[in-house]
Chain A
Amino acid sequence: MAVLSGVAVPAPLSSTGAARLLVLRNFIVYRSAWKLFLTGFLEPVLYLFSIGIGVGQLIDTFEFHGEQVPYAAFVAPAMLATSAFNGALLDSTFNVFFKLKYEKLYDQMLATPLSTGDIARGEIIWGLLRGSVYSAAFLVVMLAMGLVESWWAVLALPATVLIAFAFSAVCMALTTWMTSWQDFDKITLAQMPLFLFSATFFPVEAFGDGLLRWVVEATPLYRGVVLCRELTTGVVTWESAVSVVYLVVMGLVGLAVVRRRLDALLLT
Chain B
Amino acid sequence: MATSTSAARPTGTLSAWEGMARQYDYWLTVYKRTWRGGVANSFATPLFYVLAMGVLLGGFIDADPARLEGATSYLAFIVPGLVAAHAMTLAVSESTYPVMGAIKWHKTFYAQLATPLAVRDLVNAFLAFVVFRVASACAVFMLVLAPFGVFESWWGPVLAWVAQVLVGTAFAAITFGYSARLKSEEGFGLVFRLGVLPLTLFSGAFFPISNLGPVLEWVARLTPLWHGVSLSRMFCLDTVDWPLALVNLAVLVGLTAVGWVWSVRGLDKRLEV
Give the B-binding residues of A (Cβ under 8 A).
33, 35-36, 39-40, 42-43, 46-47, 49-51, 53-55, 57-59, 62, 182, 185, 188-189, 192-193, 196-197, 201-203, 206-207
Contact = CB atoms under 8 A, between A and B. Distances in A.
Interface stretch (B34-42, B141-149, B163-171, B227-235): B34-42
For A58, A196, A201, which residue has the most chain B Cβ atoms within 10 angstroms?
A: A58
Contacts of A189: 40-41, 44
B41 A196 contact: no
Contact of B53 (A42, A201, A203, A207): A201
Interface residues of B, number: 33
A197 B57 CA distance: 10
Contacts of A40: 193
A148 to B, nearest CB: 22
Given A62-B60, A192-B44, 13 more contacts: A39-B194, A47-B201, A53-B211, A54-B201, A58-B61, A58-B68, A58-B74, A188-B41, A188-B45, A189-B41, A197-B48, A202-B56, A207-B56
Nearest to B61: A58
A185 B93 CA distance: 14
Q: Which 7 A-B pairs have the closest CB atoms?
A: A50-B201, A196-B52, A54-B207, A39-B193, A182-B37, A202-B57, A206-B56
A35 B190 contact: yes
Contacts of A206: 56-57, 59-60
B206 A54 contact: yes
B67 interface: yes
Given A36-B186, A50-B202, A185 B211 contact: no
B61 A59 contact: yes
Contacts of A43: 193, 197
B84 to A, nearest CB: 15
A157 B31 CA distance: 44
A185 B41 contact: yes
A105 to B, nearest CB: 19
B247 interface: no
15 contacts: A35-B186, A36-B186, A36-B189, A39-B190, A43-B193, A47-B201, A51-B201, A55-B206, A58-B74, A189-B44, A192-B44, A197-B48, A202-B52, A206-B60, A207-B56
Contacts of A50: 201-202, 206-207
Interface string B43-78: 011001101110011011110000110000010000
A220 to B, nearest CB: 18
B103 to A, nearest CB: 20
Contacts of A182: 37
Contacts, number: 91
B77 to A, nearest CB: 9
Nearest to A33: B186
B244 interface: no
B147 to A, nearest CB: 21
Given A33-B186, A58-B67, A185-B38, A46 B201 contact: yes
B67 A54 contact: no
A185 B62 contact: no
A23 to B, nearest CB: 22
A50 B49 CA distance: 15
B198 interface: yes
Contacts of B194: 39, 42
B212 interface: yes
Contacts of B49: 196
A25 B74 CA distance: 49
Contacts of B206: 50-51, 54-55
B229 to A, nearest CB: 13
Contacts of A57: 207, 211
Interface in B159-210: 186, 189-190, 193-194, 197-198, 201-202, 206-207
Nearest to A184: B37
Contacts of B53: 196, 201
Nearest to A71: B60
Contacts of A47: 201
Contact of A58 (B38, B190, B207): B207
Nearest to B55: A206
Contacts of B37: 182, 185
B211 to A, nearest CB: 5
B186 A42 contact: no
A39 B189 contact: yes
Nearest to B46: A192
Q: Output the residue of B56, B190, B212 with the most chain A CB within 10 A.
A: B56
A47 B38 CA distance: 25
A204 to B, nearest CB: 10
Nearest to A207: B56
